[in-house]
Structure 1
Amino acid sequence: MGLLSFIKEAGEKLFGGSSAQAAEPDANTKAAAAIKTYIETQNLGLTGLEVTYTAATGVVTLAGQAPSQEASEKAGLAAGNVANVTSVDNNLVAPAAAPAQYHDVVKGDTLSAISKKYYGDANKYNAIFEANKPMLSHPDKIYPGQKLRIPAL
């Protein structure tokens, strides 16, 4: 799927400390394990998931098998929407499908406004919400810096 960029300060707080403190190999391994566990809690049906994290650069690399392009994209988003992650190199293998677009949430964004921007219809916000579950638990729980998947309709 390739490389996705994220905002380092935004996202789930899965591991403590600054990126400078986490630069040790053992800390990288622990952070990768925390990210892997977080991805696995999304129940995306991934097999053979391997996660590496390099704190010095903030890069997460994913490898393994995904049952669909959607699952692969969601795994990449789950990994990237973690504090101290600047980019995700998503190497998950998935059946070919049309890739989705992505949107970086800014202050004042709502799913309805994002839906209007991409689909021309604010009432199609639920498609964006469903495409980002289980990362999103409610349509109103988005935050600046978060990256969302915008599926093709």
Structure 2
Amino acid sequence: MAIWDFVKDTGKSIFGKAEASPAEAGAEPSKPAQKDATQAKVEALKKELRTLGLDAGDVHLTLKGDTVKVESRGANRETMEKLILAVGNIEGISKVEADMPEDAKPQFHTVAKGETLSAIAKEYLGDASKYHAIFEANRPMLSDPDKIYPGQKLRIPQAT
């Protein structure tokens, strides 16, 4: 099982902004309340995966704190990498745990302030004009090559 780190306070907001929790108000939250909140977050994550077309019904998510464990029997390497990124690039998630085939070492890049897909393509693929390959490798999470943000992780495709 491999673990990937993400920027917890960066990414798409799907959990909503809850009012002060009992813990923030000085009270200890009840176990059922914690379980319900965790289940609601898992359901929000699954809904996001369905929206992106990444859950064919065989994806199982487990959330513990800000760490998500992703399991899928039917996902190939590319789909598994996209699942990791789709879940990890959610605000509030700091780690994603998943099994990858032994020979599969995905290459991810964390976007820095001011970076463009062209600059990233030049760094990894040797040619700025190959930015479209990175864009396509990150579909459906990316809808526009110009809409990347600092802290976002991107899949880097194998150089061709």
TM-score range, shorter chain: 0.7 to 0.9
Asked whether 1:125 is paired with 2:122, we answer no
Structure 2 distance, partners of 1:27, 1:78, is: 20
Which consecutive residues of structure 1, in runs of 5 or more, have no partner in the other structure? none
Q: Within 2, Cα distance between the matches of 1:127 and 1:137?
A: 14
Is contact 2:46–2:55 with CA below 8 Å preserved after alignment?
no
Post-superposition Cα deviations, 1:113-150, rounded to whole Å, max 9, x if no partner, equal: 00011111101101100000000001000001100000
Residue segments in structure 2 that go unaligned for 5+ positions in a row = 24-28
Aligned to 2:72: 64
Q: Secondary structure at the match of 2:79?
A: helix
1:51 maps to 2:57 = no
Partner of 1:2: 2
**Equivalences for 1:4-43 in 2 at 5 Å?**
4-17=4-17, 21=21, 24-43=34-53
Q: Tell me, what secondary structure is at the counterpart of 2:131?
A: helix
How does the TM-score come out when normalised to structure 2? 0.83
1:84 equivalent to 2:87? Answer no
How far has the Cα of 1:98 moved from its partner? 4.2
3-state DSSP class of the match of 1:151?
coil
CA distance in 2, matches of 1:7, 1:53: 16
CA distance in 2, matches of 1:115, 1:29: 38
Distance in structure 2 (CA, Å) of the matches to 1:74 and 1:46: 13
Asked whether the equivalents of residues 29 and 52 of structure 1 are also in contact (C-alpha less than 8 Å), the reply is no
CA distance in 1, matches of 2:73, 2:47: 16
Q: Does 1:73 find its partner at 2:81?
A: yes
Kindly indicate which of the two structures has a greater share of residues assigned to strand. Answer: 1
Letter in 2 for 1:30: A
Alpha-carbon distance between aligned partners in 1 of 2:79 and 2:103, rounded to the nearest angstrom: 11
Structure index of larger Rg:
2
Which secondary structure does the structure 2 equivalent of 1:52 belong to?
Answer: strand
Rounded to whole Å, the distance in 2 between the matches of 1:66 and 1:108 is 37
Q: 1:134 matched to which residue of 2?
A: 140
Distance 2:17 2:35 in 1: 14
Secondary structure of the corresponding residue to residue 136 of structure 1 = coil
Measured on the aligned residues, the alpha-carbon RMSD in Å equals: 2.2
